[in-house]
Amino acid sequence: MNLIEALQTVPDYRSARGKRHPLWILLVFIVMGNLAGYHGDRPLGEFATRYGWQIAHRLQIEINAVPSFSTFRRAHLGLNFTALSDAFAQWMHQPIAVDEEMDAIDGKRIRQPLVDDEGKTRFVGLVSIFAHTQGITVDLAPLTTADNSESKGVQYLLETLQLTGVVFSLDALHAQKNAVAHC
C-alpha cells in the first residue's frame, strides 16, 4: 500500500453538493504542502496554486482545478483526524523488506528544554531508525523526561520491530554490555 492508497481509506464526511475534489486529493496536497513547509490553509492554497498542476501530473492524478485555501479550510474543519492518523500509521507500519540492510539508530533532543506551568523542565526528543538503502525513517520512539534514556528508546524500537538480517550503526553510548544483550 502506498501513501495515496492509505489516504483514500479516510472517509469523506462532505456532502456531494459542491464537492470539486475527492478528500484523498486534498489530503495528498496537505501532506505534501506540510512537508514543503506550507502550514495553514492560506499557505496550502498558495502551495496548490504554485505546484498543484505539476504534482497532479507527476502523481498521475486527474484534477480540473487546484484546491483553494477555502477548500483546505473546509476540509480541515470536519476532518476526522483519528481516521487520518490510523491511515497514516497503517501505511507507516507496513512490513519492510530487509535484505542485509544497514540501519542507523540515533536519538536527538531539541536544544532548548521546555518549562511547563508548574516550573518543571521537560526535554523533547526522539529516537529514530533510518534505513539507508530505502532512504526512509522506519520508526520513531519519543524520549520522555521520566525515562531520560536514549538506550531505553533504542531497546523499545528493537523489541517492537523485531528486524532480522539488519546491521545497525549506533552511538558509542549503546556499546555497553547490557545494551548489546537486547539486540
Rounded Cα distance between 106 and 132, Å, is: 13
- Per the DSSP assignment, residues forming a β-bridge with 137 are 130
Instruction: Mention every residue, 6+ apart, whose C-beta is less than 8 A from residue 30.
Output: 44, 72, 75
Rounded Cα distance between 133 and 156, Å, is: 23
Among the listed residues 124, 120, 92, 121, the one whose alpha carbon sits nearest the alpha carbon of residue 108: 124
Q: pLDDT at position 53, please? A: 94
Q: pLDDT at position 113, please? A: 64
The DSSP symbol for 106 reads E
Q: pLDDT at position 159, please? A: 82
Tens digit of pLDDT at every position of the chain (183 positions) = 888 999 999 998 888 777 889 999 999 999 999 889 999 899 999 999 999 999 999 999 999 999 999 999 988 888 888 888 888 878 877 765 555 567 888 787 766 666 667 777 666 678 888 877 777 777 877 776 665 577 777 888 878 877 777 777 777 666 666 655 554
Q: Which three cell numbers stand for residue 65?
A: 482545478
Rounded Cα distance between 30 and 1, Å, is: 19
What pLDDT, in 10s, does the model give residues 117-170?
777 766 667 888 887 777 777 787 777 666 557 777 788 887 887 777 777 777
Q: pLDDT at position 7, please? A: 93
Rounded Cα distance between 147 and 140, Å, is: 16
Burial per residue of 14-40, b for 16 or more beta-carbon CB atoms within 10 angstroms, e otherwise: beeeeeebebbbbbbbbebbeeeebee
Q: pLDDT at position 95, please? A: 65
